[in-house]
Amino acid sequence: MLQVAIDKDVCVACGACVLAGPDVFDQNDDGQAMLIVEPQESLREQILDSIDACPVQALSLVEPARVAD
């Protein structure tokens, strides 16, 4: 499972994440980014597009730690 971090202190409510990832993001009543689904691997491309589209870098993808064999 993927984990997406949203820095609400940085988000400027521009909506770029919603345009780039409409299956993943929406905006709350204040216009700030919010997740609308639990991020799955199948949504990785939309998540990465949203991260790239954010003008203030308020979004980040937290990769799970890999255990060495």
Which CATH number does the domain housing residue 16 bear?
Answer: 3.30.70.20
pTM, 2 dp: 0.88
Count of the separate structural domains present in the chain: 1
Residue 69 forms part of a structural domain? no
pLDDT higher than 80, residue 27: yes
Is 67 inside a domain boundary?
Answer: no
User: CA triplet 13, 34, 36: central angle to 5 degrees?
Assistant: 140
Taking residues 16-24, what's their average pLDDT? 98
Instruction: Give dist(CA 53, CA 7) in Å, integer.
Output: 15
| pLDDT given for residue 66 in this prediction | 72
* Any domain includes 31: yes
Q: The domain containing residue 15 runs over which residues?
A: 3-62
Q: Tell me what pLDDT residue 69 has.
A: 67
53: which 2 tokens?
């589209």
pLDDT bucket at 1, cuts 50 / 70 / 90: confident
